[in-house]
Amino acid sequence: MDGNGRWAARRGLPRTAGHTEGEENLAALVRHAVTRDIGWLTVFGFSTENWVRPRTEVRHILGLHKKLFGRVAELNDLNVRIGWMGRPFDSPGARTPKYVQQAIRKAIRDTSHNTGMVFTVAFDYGSRAELVHAAEEARLAGETISESAIWQHLYQPELPPVDVLVRTSGELRISNFMLWQIAGARAYFTDTPWPELSGAELDAALAILDR
């Protein structure tokens, strides 16, 4: 979800205003995705590298995550099950504050009965850390390191391989996001900043599956 900061700067607003708009747009796109019968939607909300951002910006983004995970009634109306992936809260180096942990746990519990789209937010997430974790878990369980062992020990083993990767705001790079799961995925890169990504453009991204 790139481009919140640039979206705000173009309007003479603080970066935090861009993140607020980004959260609203995310909620709108979740509603849209449900109408398109998407089974799995996964977003990169905050990376293991994002902690170095200015403290006020980090605090603001944490507050937005608390807010998003608090939108349980809306998610239940949509029959959406929310999930989270990231460094386990008790693992060395993990930094998710208690109040965000609580919001995540509650949202997962209170939407666990839903049978529609699974909406996963990556928070305090890094793909390389996830792969190290998966290999380490497999080793501790005495398993032979194999592709299926790695799959089984990813943070969210139930997530299927990615069909379409969407990256906004003109970034033509792959970042530290689901590196294992995106092998073979189609990619849709757009100049549109995240706060302006529309449902119609999400449809265009999905349409590359038919090519």
Give the residue numbers annotated as catalytic, written as ranges.
Answer: 2, 50
Measured between alpha carbons, how far is 96 from 90 in angstroms, rounded to an integer? 9
Q: Which of 16, 17, 19, 153 binds ligand FPP (CB under 6 A)?
A: 19
User: Which one of 15-23, 84-92, 107-115, 155-163 is the stretch in contact with ligand FPP (CB under 6 A)?
Assistant: 15-23
- Contacts with ligand FPP by CB under 6 A: the residue count is 20
CB of 65 to ligand FPP, least distance (A): 4
Q: Which of 6, 32, 95, 186 binds ligand FPP (CB under 6 A)?
A: 6
Q: Quick check: 3 binds ligand FPP (CB under 6 A)?
A: yes
| Dihedral of alpha carbons 10, 11, 14, 18, sign | negative
CB of 28 to ligand FPP, least distance (A): 12
> What is the DSSP annotation of 39-76?
SEEEEEEEETTGGGS-HHHHHHHHHHHHHHHT-HHHHH
Neighbours of 208 (CB within 10 A): 13
Query: What are 75's two structure tokens?
Result: 């998610």
Q: Quick check: 45 binds ligand FPP (CB under 6 A)?
A: yes
Q: CB-wise, 136 or 191, nearer to ligand FPP?
A: 191
User: Which one of 4-12, 75-83, 107-115, 133-141 is the stretch in contact with ligand FPP (CB under 6 A)?
Assistant: 4-12
